[in-house]
Structure 1
Amino acid sequence: MKVLTDQLGFEHKFEAVPKRIVSLVPSQTELLYDLGLEDSIVGITKFCVHPVHFKATKTVVGGTKNVKFDKIKALQPDIIIANKEENTQEIVEQLSEICPVWVTDIYNIEDNNRMIEDFGAIFNKRTNATKWVDKINFALGEFEKFVADKPVKKAAYFIWANPYMVAGGNTFINEMLKLNHFANIYEDKNGRYPEVELKKMRLEGDPDFVFLSSEPYPFKDEHAFEIGRFTHHAKTVFVDGEMFSWYGSRLVKAFDYFKILHQKIN
């Protein structure tokens, strides 16, 4: 029997390696695939878009905030993979009546690497997990050299419109911004994803860059124009939200993306 503790501190006992997995987090679905667990994944969310063919080969069990419990129960999972930010406590508690629910809690790369190692232990994929952690750490080291001489610039990272919302402090996005030498002007604002008033943006930090994320909201040129009216000199840039907000194996691609982004905006 394995006794393992998830990132919320809950202890789980496994009599055997879980063979049927339901994943409720897009980035973690991608990670499970990259760890070699494709055949074990039986259920995913409608937002699990990587790898692309999963939409045709796996059962979609709803969204991250509104899962279909009957569908999940019918899949007879051995384990459900969730996340503190993506899935509500109520969902986790209800799903716990079906089988163990492993909850991750990711704020930085250290948390991310622990998650990968945990999955390696749970699913008997330790060698694959170690390879991915090594890849991430190597890519991180190379990227830190790349940005070492770049000055810190102020930035605002928008995730939603109507109302306008941004990434605040204590978020994985904020960690990625800091890693890129961007000082988040809303890091100290109340809430992890606070609503903001555009007319106050100059007073609250006057950013050098305004990043408009590709997800969860599909920003368009008209949003860039509207936001731009309230900045002093900021350059507005459309960015790939997956690269800033997805953890797991996606980080290896993210560091390459960040290098291209810096070359494009500087």
Structure 2
Amino acid sequence: MKGNTLTDAVGIQHSPVTESARIVSLVPSITELLFALGLGEQVVGRSHYCVHPALAVAALPSVGGTKKIRHSRLRALRPSHVILNIDENPKLLADQLADYVPQIIVTHPLTPEDNVPLYRLIGSIFNRGAEAETLAATFEQALAELRQVAWLRRRVLYLIWRKPWMGVSRDTYIARMLALVEWETLPAESEARYPVLELNRALLDAADLVLFSSEPYRFQPADLNAFARTYDCPLEKLRLIDGEMTSWYGNRAIAGLAYLARFASENSQRSGAICSI
């Protein structure tokens, strides 16, 4: 977010609401954040991928995915605000929504530290400043505790998709989360933020661990076994990792810091294993 707590990721200045809002969130982690801030009664719609908190969002109408929505369904909800994210929602969708939604709020956290201004942006717009400050203080405490540990530097290949294989560049929120425990994502350089990967021996052997995320592709144990066979890669360097805990910002990022600390501690030893393809 910008320096002013009421300015969003594209520089739009927002005003605090003066009455109850009608909010549609097309960003799963933001939907969860709205409920954490006590705004659940003002959330009137969501995307299909907004799944937390489970019981509460199950009762909300879905307007479609994060890329394509049913505009007629969203119009019928008469939203005063729609919340988007630069990575998850295309600009074309934002432009279309601007034709009939009074307020479009665009978010774009790029680092874990961006969670604090995110809390304050949403909290300030929807008159939940005290709740936002509570989240900010909790997050900052968790972050400080994580930084007190002398983590072992490791190189990791973080996979988010197969057919084709895709990973993350270091210019992503995920990579910067992992960097908090001194884990460097591979490849070291990439023009794309989410590159298609050629899984050659050099890349696989450079990785101390290969991490298989639970989202957007939901890798399963069977995928690790197949990968080990296909690339003659020891299972001891392959791990499933909870993608919600590493890629979701908002209030889930607080639990994400604790999860990452546990995960890094459990995988702190170098295996020395190599793949031979």
TM-score by length of structure 2 reads: 0.88
Taking the aligned partners of 1:171 and 1:251, their CA distance within structure 2 comes to: 15
- What is the DSSP-based 3-state SS (H/G/I as helix, E as strand, rest coil) of the residue aligned with 2:258? helix
Structure with the higher strand share, 1 or 2: 1
Contact 2:10 2:106 in 1 (8 A): yes
Q: Which amino acid aligns with 1:166?
A: G
1:226-256 Cα deviation digits (max 9, x unpaired): 5442658971110100001000100111122
Contact 2:75 2:100 in 1 (8 A): yes
Contact 1:154 1:206 in 2 (8 A): yes
In structure 2, the partner of 1:127 is 130
Taking the aligned partners of 2:65 and 2:225, their CA distance within structure 1 comes to: 31
Contact 2:166 2:195 in 1 (8 A): yes
Contact 1:198 1:227 in 2 (8 A): no
Q: Which amino acid aligns with 2:169?
A: G
In structure 1, the partner of 2:59 is 57
Contact 2:31 2:46 in 1 (8 A): yes
Alignment RMSD, CA only? 2.0
In structure 1, the partner of 2:171 is 170
Taking the aligned partners of 2:192 and 2:22, their CA distance within structure 1 comes to: 36
Taking the aligned partners of 1:239 and 1:233, their CA distance within structure 2 comes to: 14
- What is the DSSP-based 3-state SS (H/G/I as helix, E as strand, rest coil) of the residue aligned with 1:98? coil
In structure 2, the partner of 1:115 is 118
In structure 2, the partner of 1:210 is 210
Give unpaired runs (5+ residues) of structure 2. 269-277
Please state how far the C-alpha of 1:16 moved relative to its aligned partner: 2.6
The alpha-carbon distance between structure 1 residues 158 and 203, as it changes in their structure 2 partners (threshold 3 A), is closer
- What is the DSSP-based 3-state SS (H/G/I as helix, E as strand, rest coil) of the residue aligned with 1:212? strand
1:21 equivalenced with 2:23 (yes/no): yes
- What is the DSSP-based 3-state SS (H/G/I as helix, E as strand, rest coil) of the residue aligned with 2:54? coil
In structure 2, the partner of 1:220 is 220
In structure 2, the partner of 1:137 is 140
- What is the DSSP-based 3-state SS (H/G/I as helix, E as strand, rest coil) of the residue aligned with 2:250? coil
In structure 2, the partner of 1:68 is 70
Moved over 4 A (4+): 230-234
In structure 1, the partner of 2:47 is 45
- What is the DSSP-based 3-state SS (H/G/I as helix, E as strand, rest coil) of the residue aligned with 1:198? coil
Please state how far the C-alpha of 1:222 moved relative to its aligned partner: 4.2
Taking the aligned partners of 2:17 and 2:155, their CA distance within structure 1 comes to: 50
- What is the DSSP-based 3-state SS (H/G/I as helix, E as strand, rest coil) of the residue aligned with 2:114? helix
Identical counterparts, % of pairs = 34
In structure 2, the partner of 1:158 is 159
Please state how far the C-alpha of 1:19 moved relative to its aligned partner: 1.2
Contact 2:187 2:203 in 1 (8 A): no
The alpha-carbon distance between structure 1 residues 231 and 13, as it changes in their structure 2 partners (threshold 3 A), is same
In structure 2, the partner of 1:237 is 239
Contact 1:208 1:235 in 2 (8 A): yes
- What is the DSSP-based 3-state SS (H/G/I as helix, E as strand, rest coil) of the residue aligned with 1:160? coil
Give unpaired runs (5+ residues) of structure 1. none
Taking the aligned partners of 1:107 and 1:205, their CA distance within structure 2 comes to: 28
1:2-61 Cα deviation digits (max 9, x unpaired): x94211112345663451100000000000000000100000111111100134321111
TM-score by length of structure 1 reads: 0.92
Taking the aligned partners of 2:157 and 2:146, their CA distance within structure 1 comes to: 21
Please state how far the C-alpha of 1:67 moved relative to its aligned partner: 1.3
Residues matched between the structures, number:
261
